Amino acid sequence: MKTRSLCVYCGSRAGADPAYEAAATALGHALAAENMRLVYGAGDIGLMGAVARAAQAAGAETFGVIPTHLLSVEVGKTDLTSFVVTETMHERKKVMFMNADAIAVLPGGAGSLDELFEVLTWRQLGLHDKTILLLNTNGYWDPLLALLDHIVDQGFADASLLSFFQTVSDVPALIAALR
């Protein structure tokens, strides 16, 4: 099945390496070129803002979801194709997940990790079979990948956990994996 909507989890900050923002911008452009809708956290700052502005500028549909308490903190981007305000973070994550065919995780912090581990756990439990992609820009996710290997090696997860997501090094590889 062709991916029509991609949920993107990423930082509300730009990060230390300019390559992170460049990859977010490239992904926004690529989504438009592939006629895919961006589903994301509706912020206009950091990598979130970069991917959304690029997607919009290139003509992609954008679907943003933000909880009330983050409207000012994450500068809610109200000029999206669809802009949804939720009461809680849990509702935000559910609405984002339910409105996407696949998930991509760009560099980010604790929030991005929370989102990744939630969909990874749901996949492990058989609650969905959506594609989960880690965009490993300049090796950003390498320490996480080592930790996941360690979790499996130490017997806290079956090796199948590692098959529930795919790591890609750049946006062209991410788009290829979605095709």
Mean pLDDT of 147-170: 97
Q: Say if strands 5-9 and 37-40 run parallel, antiparallel, or are unpaired.
A: parallel
Domain encompassing residue 14: 5-178
Token pair for residue 94?
């559910």
Q: Say if strands 5-9 and 166-168 run parallel, antiparallel, or are unpaired.
A: unpaired
Indicate whether 3 pLDDT > 80: no
Q: pTM for the whole thing?
A: 0.95
The count of domains in the chain is 1
Indicate whether 127 pLDDT > 90: yes
Cβ–Cβ under 8 Å, residues 107 and 11? yes
Indicate whether 71 pLDDT > 60: yes
Indicate whether 1 pLDDT > 60: no
Q: What is the pLDDT of residue 2?
A: 72
Mean pLDDT of 146-169: 97
Q: What is the pLDDT of residue 72?
A: 87
Using CA atoms, how far apart are residues 43 and 4, in angstroms rounded to an integer? 21
Residue 75's pLDDT band, with cuts at 50, 70 and 90, is confident
**Contacts of residue 105, Cβ cutoff 8 Å, sequence gap at least 6:** 8, 9, 10, 112, 115, 116, 132, 133, 134, 135, 141
Measure the N-to-C terminal CA separation of the chain; round to a whole number of Å.
Answer: 8
Cβ–Cβ under 8 Å, residues 128 and 119? yes
